[in-house]
């Protein structure tokens, strides 16, 4: 949707942007360029894709045969050293496709990156929020309004969801004790009472909520509302110009994967758990909101462009036309 995500940290990503832009300007995009994928012996066009450590429809499209159905074959190349390298590698031409959060894409586009979202891979709902605020049941903290003066674990002070939460709750710098901890280590910090509250993304949040001593006091929905599907699956725009048919096939496969996952949520969680080498008993934790037909929702796109600009992360304004398009989706109706 940080590592697992995004989450993708924004400051580290901006630093990576500067370096990669210099490489782009010099014509040094990397060793492997995102030219037209090679057709293999089965007549399938092959493309490379960087692994991501979160739930994503690309794993379903592969495992359930939707890429093959549309004449494609994905080769997963493993995890990159830094999650922020996903965008820079696509922009440099090392991969034709990848997935990242809308805000990260907007930051890249504002800095001149040749990328564009073409499908939605995630959403968030009250039942399946992408992010939860958690505390211990005996903490005396019962709502988000109670976090003032408390020690709150966050991944970075510049995390957009946190900045927006502070704004919505009327919190100023110093009103809470912001403690930076990686998502992977937040559970231990809460259970050992080193912090009072966690802002934690799925699947870490859902896993921790299974602990009988932990409770939820809010979710991302309380901060930004429900989201049908934000821009997430993206493409190198030079590749898009040269290979529009391949992009159409890719988007169609992602749409099929999303719709299958919506109809088969339990099995979808197991498919992704297997892809991520996670205990199958935790499959339910890897079944987020999959947007219908993988269509990008305009309101969600507007939300993250606005928030990114609100907190000064954009080098210049980014239009929705720059950020995403649904025109390669077979279900899109103008």
For the beta carbon of residue 3, count every other beta carbon within 10 angstroms. Answer: 19
Instruction: Give the CATH number for residue 166.
Output: 3.40.190.10
Closest CA to 240 of 118, 92, 155, 74: 118
Is 299 a member of any domain? yes
| Rg of the chain in Å (alpha carbons) | 19
Give residue 166's pLDDT. 96
Among 224, 239, 271, residue at a domain's last position:
224
Which of helix, strand or coil describes residue 289?
A: strand
Q: What is the pLDDT of residue 174?
A: 94
Q: Starting from the edge strand earliest in sequence, which strands make up the sheet with 38-39, in order?
A: 38-39, 45-49, 72-76
Say whether both 243 and 115 belong to one domain. Answer: yes
Beta bridge partners of 72: 45
Residue 160 lies in a domain: yes
Cα 197 to Cα 163: distance, rounded to the nearest angstrom: 16
pLDDT value of position 282:
86
The DSSP element (H or E) to which 189 belongs, if any, is helix 183-191
Query: Does 107 share its domain with 137?
Result: no
The reply to whether 101 and 83 lie within a common domain is yes
Q: State the burial class of residue 245 (Cβ atoms within 10 Å of its Cβ: 0-12, 13-18, 19+).
A: exposed
Beta bridge partners of 180: 154
219 and 234 fall within a common domain: no
Residue 275 inside a domain? The answer is yes
pLDDT along the chain (334 residues), means of 10: 43 48 43 60 92 91 98 94 85 95 94 97 90 97 97 93 96 96 95 98 91 97 91 95 97 98 95 92 88 96 96 96 98 91
∠ Cα 186 192 198 (to 5°): 35
> What is the predicted pLDDT for the residue at 224?
94
- Calculate the CA 139 to chain-centre distance: 31
Residues 104 and 163 in one domain: no
Give the C-alpha distances (Å, rounded to integers) separating 305 from 31, 123, 172, 205.
32, 16, 23, 25
- Domain assignment of residue 269, yes or no: yes
Q: Do 33 and 98 lie in a common domain?
A: yes
| Structure confidence at residue 222 (pLDDT) | 96
Last residue of a domain, one of 224, 258, 280: 224
Domain limits for position 175: 132-224
Strand partners, 136: 214
**Is there a single domain that holds both residue 15 and residue 113?**
yes
Listed in sequence order, the residues at least 6 apart from 183 whose beta carbon sits closer than 8 Å to its beta carbon are 2, 3, 4, 5, 155, 200, 201, 204
For residue 103, what are its two tokens? 């805000």
- Dist CA 207 CA 204 (whole Å): 5
Is 143 exposed, middle or buried, given 0-12, 13-18 or 19+ CB atoms closer than 10 A?
exposed
Q: Give yes or no: residues 244 and 270 share one domain.
A: yes
Picking from 173, 205, 224, the residue at the C-terminal end of a domain is 224
How many domains does the chain contain in total? Answer: 2
Other residues' Cβ atoms within 10 Å of the Cβ of residue 197 = 26
Secondary structure element (H or E) that encloses residue 209, with its range: helix 204-209
Q: In terms of domains, do 149 and 37 share one?
A: no
3-state secondary structure of 281: helix
d(CA 310, CA 163): 10
Q: Return the sign of the alpha-carbon dihedral for residues 123, 132, 320, 70.
A: negative
Can you give the length of the chain in residues? 334
Same domain as 248, residue 218: no
* Those residues with Cβ within 8 angstroms of residue 167's Cβ, 6 or more apart along the chain or in another chain: none
- The answer to whether residue 334 is domain-embedded is no
């Amino acid at each position: 949707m940080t590592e697992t995500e995004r989450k993708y940290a924004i400051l580290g990503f901006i630093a990576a942007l500067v370096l990669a832009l210099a490489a782009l300007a010099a014509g040094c995009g990397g060793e492997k360029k995102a030219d037209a994928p090679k057709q293999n012996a089965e007549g399938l066009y092959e493309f490379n894709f960087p692994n991501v450590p979160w739930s994503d429809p690309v794993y379903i499209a592969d495992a359930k045969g939707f890429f093959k159905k549309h004449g494609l074959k994905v080769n997963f190349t493993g995890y990159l050293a830094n999650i922020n390298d996903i965008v820079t590698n696509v922009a440099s031409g090392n991969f034709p496709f990848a997935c990242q959060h809308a805000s990260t894409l907007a930051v890249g586009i504002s800095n001149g990156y040749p990328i564009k979202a073409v499908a939605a891979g995630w959403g968030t709902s009250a039942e399946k929020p992408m992010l939860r605020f958690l505390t211990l049941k005996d903490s005396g903290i019962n709502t988000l309004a109670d976090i003032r003066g408390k020690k709150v674990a966050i991944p970075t002070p510049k995390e957009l969801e946190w900045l927006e939460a502070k704004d919505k709750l009327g919190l100023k710098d110093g009103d809470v004790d912001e403690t930076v901890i990686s998502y992977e280590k937040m559970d231990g910090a809460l259970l050992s009472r080193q912090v009072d509250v966690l802002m934690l993304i799925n699947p870490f949040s859902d896993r921790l909520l299974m602990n009988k001593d932990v409770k939820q006091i809010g979710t991302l929905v309380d901060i930004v509302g429900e989201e049908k599907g934000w821009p997430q699956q993206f493409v190198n725009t030079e590749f898009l110009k040269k290979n529009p048919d391949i992009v159409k096939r890719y988007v169609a496969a992602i749409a099929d994967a999303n719709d299958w996952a919506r109809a088969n949520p339990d099995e979808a969680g197991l498919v992704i758990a297997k892809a991520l080498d996670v205990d199958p008993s935790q499959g339910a934790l890897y079944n987020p909101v999959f947007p219908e037909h993988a269509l990008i929702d305009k309101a969600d796109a507007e939300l993250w462009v606005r928030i990114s600009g609100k907190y000064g992360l954009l080098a210049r304004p980014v239009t929705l036309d720059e950020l995403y398009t649904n025109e390669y989706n077979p279900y899109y109706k103008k």
